[in-house]
Structure 1
């Protein structure tokens, strides 16, 4: 063996050892922490959120006033919200307010991702607010619930300036945001649940008129961790709860909102697409609300419907299903008989 061949062989062996060591480190990182998987998912989801918002641009009305990046808690760098309302609103006119909590699997997302959808809702006579909150694994449960309570308190403080009728709040959300919305509603309507989580509600039950819930997870105890989507859910639950086995986390048990609601729960509109991996959660929550005689309106589709409607189908307004979801959401809001205050 020549000296040159020996050097190349030695270099090749060293390279293999380095690659093998790196592979072990990466493997261990994925097994010991939710961070690596969460960061990969976040990158993909955030790109998708930007694309979804961009696709809605052609449906967006132009006569909407936007107030961006309002700080709702000066001590919290993540505590910002955006406000939208019709530019034609009178100086002292107050409108019902839809507070929308964005999705992103609780580990990603941004209020800007639903900017155009909020403008569309606002054009129908609402103040629409999109809030940001801290995502996992940087922050754990129940941080987003505390932040949502803070946002609701801020909106009441700034109600006149933002044209908000404080007697007519609607909580809304998609995906992980729907989960936060559903819990927030229960915190407001259910004192024992609020105490269990340790959050003081910042709205009275009489102020919360109803909620819009799209494509959310509501039964954490029965989330499947099998298959590709199961792997994603395992990452989310680990990151958000702070426990690799989230079922061992006593506080996190309260995240299964379906186990804690009662007949005082507010009127709700619930929907998910027939191809949504979380469809069973929406249907289970709807059934529970029927059982406890709470007011519920739903939009579900035939299982055999083609093409199947994906998770977050409601934001795709180029489809009949997306248009129907918007129309039925507005019909539900109209059924609440909310009126503006001149």
Structure 2
């Protein structure tokens, strides 16, 4: 296992230092933790590609209204455009459209596809299955209204990072249950959270309090999402490592070898292969959890975005009035 990548280390040290300064040693509630996490990351989402336009929508759900943002790149191969539907990470408890704004713009620009970001309701105020229900509602909305928003709903990729990768696969599984999986062309899965179980080796070597994501933090996130007995109560839809994965669309899995979730990402890639899914996986040496956030200074983060964008382009072909085009 390689030492932490020096470019990414700079990002981690800056975010952790600023987060500690803003906390000031206080015990924080979830609302305060979300605000500080966003503030500490604010400089790291500056810059990046400009969009031709951005539209925000509000959708209804049994768990309350939630947001949906559509980002249109300056260059699109066709109108309406295929789309990447992206679910942000943050342990189902933190982050949102603003923390992931630059990443969303990078994907839109590099893929020349519309990106649709889901601002799902957060745990613990809205535990499982709120976020998953809203994911499916958003996909149904795209099926019905996508053309009005300039989206070709025949060619949709689902993606996400960490908890968002979990939601992307869970949403695909829900569509499979409904006989509608053909609506999804591909999966883009960045360092996903696939099961509450973490090995002792992962906790001790990669999930300490000094790491970007600790084992204790993951336990807290899973408890907020599923309750205090998360390992016992996890279902195939909340912990997709334990799901039957056959018939899922082609999946790209990206993670770093310095991530406490590295073991379960390797296990998820293997389970997908065993289920007959077309899988491409790439492991970044010296990269921790959330390394793609360091895109402004990290070669590895930029490579991960480029790989993801190319995967989206490959699996969401565009159609012109003359037929299929490249």
TM interval, shorter chain, is 0.7 to 0.9
CA distance in 2, matches of 1:337, 1:171: 11
The match for 2:273 among 290, 306, 311 is 290
Q: Tell me, yes or no, if structure 1 residue 262 matches structure 2 residue 245.
A: yes
CA distance in 2, matches of 1:254, 1:121: 26
Match of 1:207 in 2: 183
Match of 1:103 in 2: 89
Q: Which runs of 5+ in 1 are unaligned?
A: 1-34, 192-200, 303-307
Equivalent residues in 2 for 1:63-212, closer than 5 Å: 63-68=51-56, 70-73=57-60, 77-87=64-74, 93-123=79-109, 124-189=111-176, 191=177, 201=178, 204-212=180-188
Shift of 1:219: 2.2
CA distance in 1, matches of 2:139, 2:284: 33
In structure 2, do the counterparts of structure 1 residues 63 and 148 end up closer, same or farther at CA, with 3 Å as the change threshold?
closer
The match for 1:232 among 217, 232, 247 is 217
For residue 112 of structure 2, give the secondary structure of its aligned residue in structure 1: coil
For residue 115 of structure 2, give the secondary structure of its aligned residue in structure 1: strand
1:152-183 per-residue CA deviation (whole Å, 9 max, x = no partner) reads 11122221221111110111101111111111
Structure with a larger share of its residues in strand: 2
Check whether the contact 2:136–2:174 (CA below 8 A) recurs between aligned residues: no
Q: Tell me, yes or no, if structure 1 residue 321 matches structure 2 residue 300.
A: yes
The match for 2:229 among 241, 245, 270 is 245
Shift of 1:113: 1.5
Match of 1:47 in 2: 39
Check whether the contact 1:211–1:266 (CA below 8 A) recurs between aligned residues: yes
For residue 172 of structure 1, give the secondary structure of its aligned residue in structure 2: strand
1:31-54 per-residue CA deviation (whole Å, 9 max, x = no partner) reads xxxx96755653443334434322
Q: How many residues align structurally? A: 284
State the TM-score, normalized to the length of structure 2.
Answer: 0.78
Shift of 1:213: 0.6
Higher relative contact order (CA 8 A, sep 6+): 2
For residue 241 of structure 2, give the secondary structure of its aligned residue in structure 1: helix
Q: Tell me, yes or no, if structure 1 residue 279 matches structure 2 residue 262.
A: yes
For residue 64 of structure 1, give the secondary structure of its aligned residue in structure 2: strand
In structure 2, do the counterparts of structure 1 residues 236 and 332 end up closer, same or farther at CA, with 3 Å as the change threshold?
same
Match of 2:23 in 1: none
Check whether the contact 1:101–1:174 (CA below 8 A) recurs between aligned residues: yes
Structure with a larger share of its residues in helix: 1
Match of 2:196 in 1: 220
Q: Which runs of 5+ in 2 are unaligned?
A: 1-26, 322-326
Shift of 1:256: 2.0
Q: Which moved more, 1:310-319 or 1:137-146?
A: 310-319
In structure 2, do the counterparts of structure 1 residues 341 and 85 end up closer, same or farther at CA, with 3 Å as the change threshold?
farther
Match of 2:284 in 1: 301
For residue 93 of structure 1, give the secondary structure of its aligned residue in structure 2: coil
In structure 2, do the counterparts of structure 1 residues 39 and 294 end up closer, same or farther at CA, with 3 Å as the change threshold?
same
